[in-house]
Structure 1
């Protein structure tokens, strides 16, 4: 997978004229079954000059290998169930859709937008800190395998189980995030954050990754002064933080805006 990057602009030494690029953060709650459609709409509305993603070439290589290895294996397991042909087709289509539009939609949609519009697409996550992303991918693949293995050989239809597994668009979390952003604008963010009920382990992904991404965004905002950068990433990095552990807190000097992916429905 090759990423569209304006290498000339990235490498070019330019004198900073004091004007930063406008930075807009789009927060994603994974998994989002409607994410690919929402992001397509978001990019057409925002019309970015540059797209950055919380992603790395290392993760994309891992994902490409994982999909290739696991897809064939999952299909073989499915065949052993001796299910009706229509169910086999449904699940094969589901796997294709899941890998493309759930696990990796932020990259795929951004790439599809960047090519025809000649918009640089830049992956800015720290490749040395991607272990958690790879672990999430492994867990997702294991979930799919568990689903397949739980299907009785005599089952008549996979459709209901597929839909139940796949459709999860994080409506409640998106709503609370939008309320949180608004509360922060009103000066009540420290109270509103309690409504998000953050998993105590989730902040462990913050820190080094956010510093790495913040440095990249700060650098790019100087390089692309007067232009618009749209950054796409996990919602946790968009929170305010008195300790300045989050990406958003580290780039406050850029006056970034933020919204959820669901905002574009």
Structure 2
């Protein structure tokens, strides 16, 4: 299944894509795409529905129908740093022995095609295409061999980052990771049964048509199951929590000299089977 949230910002409604790629409304069955809707039982109930019998939403998604973040009411937005060996090399950092875990504040979450407003005073806003994990059944201290049962699905994330505030202003990475609009999620949540191997996905990102990132999840240091298990040692994961899993090489910070986003530019990014995003920089 491909689950979506559509409509005006702050008033999104739950939906599902039909066989023709059109949005069908789920409002009669779930309040939102989030929480218990994403547990194994919740997803089983949605699978029992015939999308063709649901109300057709006017418009084409990502054309004349706005999509919001594909998960609503996210409790925790977590992320893993330096999780691609080739990205760690371009950053001049060692491959971590354990996952680097940080938070992106939930107020940064945006729709996949919403404009990105540069924060006042920003000089080093950067891009990062990432595979996102969406938690289904929650849990704590989840065993690695059980972690797949806790993953509802996957999505595209742009882990936008202000590098100066992330790395050179003291404190944690969070200061450069959580600004409003720094977490576009979607366009849709693809349930895990449709992604047989999340470590065999191509992911890419372009700025103004120039492809900066073109990698594969095969070069991840820590895979999705290991990330879910590891993260659950430090916090109880809950249905609808989102984890960004790291980025391949080609970020602006890694260019020689570094290249950062400017007003007027367009970012396009995507992951095989999970859709694409586009953000205009303002």
Same fold by TM (over 0.5)? no
State the structure with more CA Rg: 1
- Please report the TM-score for the alignment, with normalisation by the length of structure 1: 0.24
Higher helix share: 1
**TM-score, length-scaled by structure 2:** 0.23
Structure with the bigger RCO (C-alpha within 8 Å, sep 6+) is 1
